[in-house]
Structures are given as structure tokens and as C-alpha cells.
């Protein structure tokens, strides 16, 4: 599968739990187009070990994302009822109570498939339906989507490998710095450091120039 970087993020409508306990049936990332950048991340399963550490880590840094005008949205292939139940469980018991950003229920697995982060054994029939031949859950995929709805950065980890939330913030800073100043960000760049003059801001502009 080709990379989504530089392409429109796949659109979807699905059930989600928002504000730590409210179930909505038609959640979509399209609501943020023209308004906010989005960090959209997948995790494998509710009620597991590594996953709550990541969800709590994003919650702890939620203020950093919000002051950068970035929406944080999570997603797994569990149901919205499973998400809701996990959100009611205290952290000390392995739950994610206190998480307030939206958690999408990708029960059809189609969202994870379209984003290229679906693990497991499956096939697709003539109607476009997934036919499971083994467990299907999402890898730890993370996507930085700009205000135009374009994927600008992605990272996919295997199931045992947790992510670094500070790195996600660094990538947000790099994207926003580039958009505001037209300069490109070298290796290990962090906000406040010197950047570099560049001739392009996006894949489309780069390809047009070459």
C-alpha cells in the first residue's frame, strides 16, 4: 500500500465516545477541516496493558496540543460500548477514566484498513467487505493531519512498541513552523531552534518544482 503522506486523510463517519462518556453515532474528522490540525492515533485494544499508558500520556499533554489548536482523536477496533466501559474504569485498575478526547469505534475495521494500519489476517470480498481469517486489530498508527485534511506525517509501530507523545508534539511544531515561516526543519529540530531555508512547503509543491 502506498503512503498516505501528502494525500487526503481517508474520510469516515463512525460511532465514538466523546468528553469521557457521551456516545455519538456520526463522528468524523471532517469537522476539523479548515479549523484545526489533527493528531489521529490508533491503538490495538481496550482493557490491555500498553494501550492505557498511551491514552493517559496523550491526555496528560492534551493542553499542549490544545494551545497549538490541535485536536487529538483516538481509534481502535473495539465497540463504542467497550470504549465507554473502559472510560469508567479508574486508572489504578487499568482503566482510562479521565480521558476526554474522542475515541472512535472502528468496528468494521474499514477505518484502520483505509489508513494502512490494520494488522491480522483478512481478505476483501467483491462487495468491499472484510472477511476475517484471523484476529484483526490496529497497529499503533499515528497520523498528523493538517487543516486542509492532508496527512503530513505518519508513524506506525508494531503492537508491543509504545509511542512518544513529545515526538508527536515536536512534529506538530515542525509543521506549524514550516507553514508560518516557509522554512524547513532539520533533524532533531525543536521549537525555538534555528531552521533552514527551503524551496518547498509540501509534497505537491516539491513535485511541481521538479
What are the residues facing 153 on neighbouring strands?
A: 144
What is the chain's Cα-based Rg?
18
The residue assigned the cell 477514566 is 97
The predicted model scores a pTM of 0.86
Closest residue by Cα to residue 84 from 47, 39, 42: 47
What confidence tens digit (pLDDT) does each residue in 62-93 have?
999 999 999 999 999 999 999 999 999 999 99
**Looking at residue 187, what is its pLDDT?**
64
Q: Would you state the pLDDT for residue 184? A: 62
- Is the pLDDT score of 207 beyond 60? no
The angle formed by the CA atoms of residues 203, 206 and 210, to the nearest 5 degrees, is: 135
User: Mean pLDDT over all residues of the chain?
Assistant: 88
- Whether the CA torsion 135, 137, 140, 141 is positive or negative: it is positive
Fold of 14-161: Glutaredoxin (3.40.30)
**Would residue 185 show up in a list of annotated catalytic residues for this protein?**
no
pLDDT in tens, 125-147: 788 776 766 678 999 999 999 99
Every domain of the chain and the residues it spans: 14-161
pLDDT higher than 50, residue 210: no
Catalytic residue among 4, 38, 39, 51: 51
What is the average pLDDT across 138-162?
96
pLDDT of residue 51: 84
More confident residue, 124 or 58: 58
- Count of Cβ atoms closer than 10 Å to residue 178 Cβ: 18
Confidence of residue 197 (pLDDT cuts 50, 70, 90): low
Amino acid at each position: 500500500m502506498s503512503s498516505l503522506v501528502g494525500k487526503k486523510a481517508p474520510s469516515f463517519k463512525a460511532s465514538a465516545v466523546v468528553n469521557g462518556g457521551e456516545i455519538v453515532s456520526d463522528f468524523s474528522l471532517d469537522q476539523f477541516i479548515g479549523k484545526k490540525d489533527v493528531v489521529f492515533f490508533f491503538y490495538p485494544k481496550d482493557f490491555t496493558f500498553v494501550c492505557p499508558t498511551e491514552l493517559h500520556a496523550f491526555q496528560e499533554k492534551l493542553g499542549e496540543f490544545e494551545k497549538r489548536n490541535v485536536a487529538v482523536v483516538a481509534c481502535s477496533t473495539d465497540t463504542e460500548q467497550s470504549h465507554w466501559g473502559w472510560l469508567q474504569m479508574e486508572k489504578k485498575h487499568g482503566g482510562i477514566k479521565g480521558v476526554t478526547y474522542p475515541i472512535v469505534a472502528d468496528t468494521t475495521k474499514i477505518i484502520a484498513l483505509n489508513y494502512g494500519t490494520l494488522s491480522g489476517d483478512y481478505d476483501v470480498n467483491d462487495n468491499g467487505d472484510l472477511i476475517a481469517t484471523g484476529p484483526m486489530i490496529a497497529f499503533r498508527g499515528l497520523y498528523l493531519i493538517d487543516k486542509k485534511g492532508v496527512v503530513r506525517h505518519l508513524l506506525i509501530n508494531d503492537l508491543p512498541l509504545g509511542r512518544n507523545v513529545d515526538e508527536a508534539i515536536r512534529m506538530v511544531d515542525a509543521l506549524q513552523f514550516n507553514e508560518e515561516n516557509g522554512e524547513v526543519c532539520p533533524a532533531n529540530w525543536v521549537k525555538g531552534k534555528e531552521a533552514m531555508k527551503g524551496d518547498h512547503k509540501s509534497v505537491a509543491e516539491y513535485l511541481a518544482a521538479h
